[in-house]
Amino acid sequence: MATGVRGGLRLDAHKERSTEQALRPASAVETLVMPLDQHAGAAAVPLVKPGERILRGQPIAEPGGAISAWLHSPASGTVAAIEPRPAPHRLGAPSLSIVVANDGRDERVAESARQPFEQLAPEQLREIIGRGGIVGLGGAVFPTAAKLSSARKGHDVRLLINGAECEPYISCDDILMRERAHDVVFGARALMHALAAQTCVIAIEDDTPQAASALGAAIADAHDARVQLRRVASIYPAGGERQLITAIFDVEVPSGGLPADVNTVCLNVGTAAAVAHWVRDGQPLTNRIVTITGDGVLEQRNLEVPLGTPLAALIYDCGGYTGRMSRLIMGGSMMGQSLPHDDMPVIKATNCVIAASALDLQPRAAEMPCIRCGNCAEVCPAMLLPQQLHWYALGRNLDELETHGLMDCIECGCCDYVCPSQIPLAERFRDMKPALLERLAARNSADAARVRFDARTARLERIENERLAALAKKRQELAKKSS
């Protein structure tokens, strides 16, 4: 029986056409563009220079901070340039990128000898995972090694592998689980070792029977009783990290907290497979599976794509645009990002490209006043009151937005979907978060300054008391000598 999810929506998946055909590699392209900031945290720092010869899998940029990630060349060739280029995750300004001219030879960097992960200490394995450039492939692109290291040590940490691909149109995880289930299970077991965890649950939706069958067989072949397969109801957004943790383990991540606060580390199935390719096969993260879909493209399918490949090349690989194409989206139909054009590269966060027509996405009607129907509150998976948040967002009332939990909003768009007044609620909440974050940061800074001031005052008082005590003792000694 599938585990339930609070709130949410039952949506048409629109995944059948993209999963009808087997996964295949994307066609090679002449130029690949690798943004240095295509992961959460600090941008990577280039290790190469223009004109330099490079090999596929060679590190071309190193982490620029504690939260950052390595980048590796997706092809052999030459560094054509290091310059700002348009990127789908930075629509406001170009992103500094390493441009690789592909020579078509596919010459790979020499692989070093691989030890079985079981023979490594957990901290060694975490470092190795970090050097593979692996990040969360479910969309957040948080560096995986940093996430593993942030887990609370000395506790019974459990691993949750997220295969609940709830967003409409996206099917890259489904095809991965169908065709490469053994990679997912191997990666999950390696991640357990990196965490010193004794429990792993692979969670999938109950409408993916082929993936369930393949994963079940792979788990049986692994002969590891610590790995379990669980199903959740196919309700959007069942794949949200917090929602999935609650559905599987019946615990809530505290407001303002992290999954580590409930002894859980949640990672995407694509991340687990990437760990397998790196730890077992020596292949760093240079490729990912991308769903190409929508009524605006001739052939809908999943492609395994080298990072840096132009989105236009993927569309061409799938037969080109249809005459009905009207809008390009990276991601799913609920939380995806609209793109102004297709002259942008595939990055680590690119799980889906929707070439949408009016049949896929109806244009939003004119916004009308809120009628306080409460539909938004009924579907909110974070158990918030979107109608109240909307009211306070209009007035830019940061105090009430904080009190009513704006920072707990996951921007899933369920409230938008059911709003009869066509109010762009999720967009409004997203726009207000930076101001609230700035206020919270200022408050934390003030609190830290107050703590430092109090500590300094206490230290000065202690020093003064010690000086006075020493002076009093000296006077007593002098008094005794004089008497």
Q: What is the DSSP string of 156-203?
A: --EEEEEE---STT--HHHHHHHH-HHHHHHHHHHHHHHHT-SEEEEE
Asked whether residue 381 is domain-assigned, the answer is yes
Query: Which of 89-93, 348-352, 421-425, 452-456 is predicted least confidently?
Result: 452-456
To the nearest whole percent, how much of the chain has pLDDT over 70? 98
**Which residue matches tokens 């967003």?**
167
Domain match, 398 and 258 both: no
CATH number at residue 220: 3.40.50.11540
389 shares a domain with 280? no
Compute the distance between CA of residue 458 and CA of residue 453 in angstroms, rounded to an integer: 9
Amino acid at position 482, single letter: S
Instruction: Point out the domain boundary residue: 253, 287, 321.
Output: 287
Q: Contact at 8 Å (CB) between 236 and 167?
A: yes
Give the strands of the sheet with 158-163, arranged side by side.
227-232, 199-205, 158-163, 264-268
pLDDT band at 355 (very low <50, low <70, confident <90, very high): very high
- The CATH number of whichever domain residue 393 belongs to comes to 1.10.1060
Q: Are residues 131 and 273 in the same domain?
A: yes
Inside any domain, residue 8: no
pLDDT score for 471: 85
What are 31's two structure tokens? 């130029």
Q: What is the maximum span of the chain, computed from C-alpha positions, in angstroms?
A: 110
Q: Other CB atoms closer than 10 Å to residue 412's CB: what's the count? A: 25
Query: Would 415 be classed as within a structural domain?
Result: yes
Domain co-membership, 278 together with 376: no
pLDDT beyond 70 at 419: yes
pLDDT, one tens digit per residue, over 140-167 is: 899 999 999 988 665 689 999 999 999 9
For 36, 90, 219, 344, 446, the CA distances from 84, given in Å and listed in that order, are: 10, 11, 45, 12, 36
Q: What is the pLDDT of residues 78-92, one digit of tens each?
A: 999 999 999 999 887
Could you tell me if 381 and 272 lie in one domain?
A: no
Q: Which domain holds residue 376?
A: 367-483
Distance between CA 336 and CA 236 in Å, rounded?
Answer: 14
CA-CA distance, 240 to 412, in Å (whole number)? 9
pLDDT at 481: 78
Q: Is 415 exposed, middle or buried (0-12, 13-18, 19+ CB in 10 A)?
A: buried
Q: Which of 138, 91, 93, 167 is nearest to 339 (CA)?
A: 91
> In which region does residue 196 sit, left (phi positive, over 0), alpha (psi from -120 to 50) or beta (all else)?
left
Q: Is residue 390 part of a domain?
A: yes
User: Do 146 and 250 reside in the same domain of the chain?
Assistant: yes
End-of-domain residue from the set 239, 267, 287: 287
State the pLDDT at residue 474.
Answer: 83
**DSSP alpha helices (H): ranges in 39-163?**
122-131, 144-149
How many residues are there in the chain?
483
First to last CA, the chain: 93
Residue range 177-195: mean pLDDT, rounded = 98
Q: At what angle do helices 181-195 and 122-131 cross, to 10 degrees?
A: 130
Supply the pLDDT for residue 87.
96
Cβ atoms of 376 and 388 closer than 8 Å: no
- Domain count within the chain: 2
| Residue 316 pLDDT greater than 90, yes or no | yes
Percent share of the chain, pLDDT over 90: 83
Any domain includes 64: no
User: 242 — phi, psi (to 5°)?
Assistant: -65, -40
Hey, how many other C-beta atoms are within 10 angstroms of the C-beta on 122? 17
Residue 94: inside a domain: no
192 and 282 co-located in one domain: yes
Pairing of strands 71-72, 95-102: unpaired
Are 399 and 276 contained in the same domain?
no
At residue 382, does pLDDT exceed 60?
A: yes
Domain boundary among 287, 308, 329: 287
Token pair belonging to 51: 């004109």
Band of residue 443 on the pLDDT scale cut at 50, 70, 90? confident
Instruction: Assess if residue 106 is contained within a domain.
Output: no
Same domain, 413 and 270: no
Mean of per-residue pLDDT scores for the chain: 94
Same domain, 268 and 146: yes
pTM for the full predicted model: 0.90
Q: 283, 347, 349, 352: which is closest to 34 by C-alpha?
A: 347
Mark whether 130 and 261 lie in a shared domain.
yes
Mean pLDDT for 443-466 is 83
Sheet holding 71-72, edge to edge: 45-46, 59-62, 71-72
Within a domain: residue 459?
yes
CA separation for the pair 147, 271 (Å, rounded): 12
Which residues on adjacent β-strands are paired with residue 101?
31, 78
Q: Kindly state whether residues 151 and 252 are assigned to the same domain.
A: yes
